[in-house]
Structure 1
């Protein structure tokens, strides 16, 4: 399985090269193979840590939760912007304690939080507390539970 994973990037880059150049000439094929192999080698030198995800079936419910949350957040932010009332929303910062330590899981959590409209990952402190900016911060405990239970726990099951 490891060999198949290692072949994915060069094959993908090679096919992408041919599609972007719209040519199957022998020169483009040779250049595509050379560039795909070189870029794969160069990219492997830039990543000293390799992700070792486990329990990949947990990705499906996580993906569905994130998709639903993004859609709900888009609707909520659109309502706030299209129908602005001064007392309708209260932006603010919140600190959420995290127990996850895997850098790949933290990167995924940062992507999930930032992709959701109305929230921005501000910083991860030395005390492993996530500083999050929320456009409509009504109840801090709800946000802590949302991030910890809905996102962090499944990511820990996948990456740790």
Structure 2
């Protein structure tokens, strides 16, 4: 089964999305959905990182909650800055964050976390995965921000993916 469907959830999602986009259940749509559901995961199998195991589900839930709170707080901060300051008074800049984490799945989650928060964008990861470059909409204390990323996000991700 794994030989033809290396990622059943992806296959199912492709099948359903194809049918939803076409808004029909005729034979041609079902056949095309089946072909896509089998072919796309097979053709993209080498592009996906190694399968991750959830080692600490409690830590993952706490991290998800923390990210939700941080995204909401960040959205309010960015909105407040946009409404109250002129662009010349906003201190946007790049920050380089040293990383301990090397797991590709953990780095992928960290990239999603960084890109979800309004005002923060993942800019670059060094070739050896030891440094992360982030662009921030507003930053006053670089050291405090680096500590926040390492303690709030990297430390739990290390527990989840590398312990």
Task: Work out whether the TM-score is over 0.5.
Answer: yes
* SS of aligned partner of 1:27: helix
* SS of aligned partner of 2:7: helix
Aligned length: 158
Task: Give CA deviations for 1:110-131 in whole Å, capped at 9, x if unaligned.
Answer: 2211221222223223571222
Is 1:59–1:158's contact at 8 Å kept on the other side of the alignment? yes
> How far apart, in 1, do the equivalents of 2:12 and 2:87 lie?
54
Offset, 1:82:
0.6
> How far apart, in 2, do the equivalents of 1:80 and 1:120 lie?
17
The aligned residue for residue 134 of structure 1 is 136
**Residues 11 and 121 of structure 1, relative CA distance in 2, 3 Å threshold:** closer
TM-score, normalisation: structure 2: 0.81
Is 1:80–1:88's contact at 8 Å kept on the other side of the alignment? no
Q: Which residue of 155, 158, 162 corresponds with 1:156? A: 158
Task: Give CA deviations for 1:51-82 in whole Å, capped at 9, x if unaligned.
Answer: 31322343221111111111111111111111
Is 2:119–2:137's contact at 8 Å kept on the other side of the alignment? yes
**Residues 34 and 70 of structure 1, relative CA distance in 2, 3 Å threshold:** same
Deviates more, 1:91-100 or 1:117-126: 117-126
**Residues 33 and 80 of structure 1, relative CA distance in 2, 3 Å threshold:** same
> How far apart, in 2, do the equivalents of 1:5 and 1:61 lie?
30
The alignment status of 1:63 with 2:64, answered yes or no, reads: yes
Offset, 1:24:
1.8
* SS of aligned partner of 2:71: helix
